[in-house]
Structure 1
């Protein structure tokens, strides 16, 4: 259990740091669970390179999937808008790659 807990804490910290490095995203550190709910309030009204205007967390999640290949759940599904949910119950490599794609996507918003 100690090893698993340490792995989840490491992954949590990796994801929180990486998402807080994305322009327009604010990600608080959760105290439990295996997912985070970053806010995209700073991205509302911006437009993606494909011409999609981010009007809410659902349009963000859809554009992120279609344009960057990263699947997240929009926060409104949990009553948490304008946030999205991403699980860190996967490998460090997968999380690093996903967060890098999210950052690239956010950097491309205008």
Structure 2
């Protein structure tokens, strides 16, 4: 059958992936490689380890990072240690572009607030 739909979906996911990677790489302390074929990225939060949030939470691991991110910015991501990938975290881009942009802005704000 026609493959136009798949081609369109693939392009949408590629655009979302590129936006997420770019925005996360602009966040202080985050390094996000570009994945080849998944619908999620695994950015490193190593540059945030050892810092403290504006509400006083200490970031000593990827688990601390994702917990504080959820509590302080309302962004849910999964700690990489759940997949044997500390100190990374997983962000799915299988959601709307608008939601992803907002989540990435919140991650940037959260990282910028760490001291």
**TM-score normalised to the size of structure 1?**
0.99
RMSD: 0.3
**What is the CA distance between 1:8 and its match in structure 2?**
0.3
Larger radius of gyration: 2
Please give the alpha-carbon distance, in whole angstroms, between the structure 1 residues aligned to 2:55 and 2:113: 10
SS in 2 for 1:52: coil
**Which residue in 1 is equivalent to 2:83?**
78
1:100 aligned to 85, 105, 108, which one?
Answer: 105
Q: For structure 2, which runs of at least 5 residues remain unmatched after alignment?
A: 1-5
Please give the alpha-carbon distance, in whole angstroms, between the structure 2 residues aligned to 1:17 and 1:65: 21
Q: For structure 1, which runs of at least 5 residues remain unmatched after alignment?
A: none
The runs of 4+ residues in structure 1 deviating greater than 2 Å are: none
SS in 1 for 2:75: coil
